[in-house]
Amino acid sequence: MGRAIRARLRAIRARWRGWSRRRRIGVAALLALALVLLPIAGAAAALRIAYAGDPAPEARTRGRDAVWLGHAWVDGRKGDADLAALGRRLAGTGIRDLYVHTGPLAHDGSLDPALYPKAQEFLAGAHRALPGVRVQSWLGDVVAPEKEGLHLDRADVRDRINASAVQVLDLGFDGVHFDMEPVHSGDPGFLQLLDQVHATTSGRGVPFSVAAPQIDPLPGLHAAGLALSGHGKWWSQAYFAQAARRVDQIAVMSYDTSMQLESLYGGYVVHQTRLALEVTPERVDLLMGLPAYWDDTYQHRGSAETVGAAVRGARLGLGHSTRQSFGLALYVDFTATDEHWTAYRTGWGAAG
């Protein structure tokens, strides 16, 4: 048997040498392309399979949902009529938290009061019009070293960010929500900041939440992506767990995935939901983001990344779990259409 195999290999080598150089290069290129495409095809097939089937009937809203709201609510551009319309939008849904953009923070971590001249009026109106809904201050900025922004490795910057959290709580906000990007996986300064601010919010008896990047779809992908592009796209699952343990809510920004088909995007959300569920403590609300906006770029295909696909993917990822500390978060109010709201309502169900 061994002699027959060796003879066959010699014949293949002889035939290979008999080909022209151009033909050998062409065949080698095709083989290399196949080696690249086969894993991609396998991954795509896995995502399609994950998105197949029917979500569990019990995979419905737990009344822990949220929506990100733009800056117009605190700078005077929106008023009582807009609040009434928002109340109609939220009626019957499971939305409990509003993340209202109040910043951005300055690069040194401070917050300029001139950015939110109508915040207290908005809060008073929201508490009247939306009983039972918590209004959290959404604070954020870009982060060093990838961007010229917050240096979270510096204690003085973290102190000023914590002071900014106190500043918005003193205004009457019901909690603090951070969206700081891009925080690289493993960043110790970010974890120190979470510890510091969580101590502050816990002392006030209010929630502290954070928006988080997606988790490595494959182990170590965050390191490879950072090495190749310099961009911190993903967190390791272990780092995600470290962040989740330090807050009361963590919302995965499960969009801008570069998926080109709705089925692939939905399967990706299934995978992200399962990865996040594995490491998020039961006491912490885990929210999966819904892309309520349209864009066509290399990282976001509007026809693929739909609210409907994200809702279905999250439900499939949740499965038959009875975990109550789970929800969906709609991003963002000023781009959300009737179609987006309908997809959220019908796909995820009514509160209660």
Report pLDDT digits (tens) over 293-306. 999 998 999 999 99
Domain count, the chain: 2
Residues 275 and 162 in one domain: yes
pLDDT tens for each residue of the chain, 352 residues long: 556 666 665 666 667 566 665 565 544 445 444 444 344 445 667 898 999 999 999 999 999 999 999 999 999 999 999 999 999 999 999 999 999 999 999 999 999 999 999 999 999 999 999 999 999 999 999 999 999 999 999 999 999 999 999 999 999 999 999 999 999 999 999 999 999 999 999 999 999 999 999 999 998 888 888 877 778 899 999 999 999 999 999 999 999 999 999 999 999 999 999 999 999 999 999 999 999 999 999 899 999 999 999 999 999 999 999 999 999 999 999 999 999 999 999 999 998 6
Residues 276 and 172 both lie in one domain: yes
Residues 11 and 126 in one domain: no
CA distances from 197 to 169, 210, 284 (A): 12, 11, 16
Tell whether 29 and 115 lie within a shared domain.
Answer: no
Residues 170, 31 share a domain: no
Domain boundaries, position 44? 2-50
Same domain, 143 and 277: yes
What mean pLDDT value characterizes the chain?
92
Task: Report if residue 115 sits inside a domain.
Answer: yes
31 and 82 share one domain: no
Place of tokens 């040498």: 17
56 is a domain residue? no
Structural domain includes residue 284: yes
Residue 22 is predicted with a pLDDT of: 59
pLDDT of residue 33: 41
User: Are residues 148 and 37 located together in one domain of the fold?
Assistant: no
Q: What is the pLDDT of residues 197-234, one digit of tens each?
A: 999 999 999 999 999 999 999 988 888 888 777 788 99
Q: Among 10, 25, 50, which residue terminates a domain? A: 50
Is residue 84 domain-shared with residue 41, that is, in the same domain?
Answer: no
Question: Is residue 60 assigned to a domain?
Answer: no
Which domain CATH number covers 206? 3.20.20.80
What integer pLDDT is reported at residue 227 of this predicted model? Answer: 77
Structure confidence at residue 232 (pLDDT): 84
Task: List, for residues 115-152, the tens digit of each pLDDT value.
Answer: 999 999 999 999 999 999 999 999 999 999 999 999 99
**CA–CA dist 141, 184 (Å, integer):** 14
**Strand partners of residue 177:** 138, 209
Same domain for 251 and 279, yes or no, is: yes
11 lies in the same domain as 97: no
Residue 29 covered by a domain: yes
Q: Are 280 and 241 in contact (CB under 8 A)?
A: yes
Same domain, 39 and 92: no
Burial of residue 274, with CB atoms counted within 10 A of its CB: 0-12 exposed, 13-18 middle, 19 or more buried:
middle
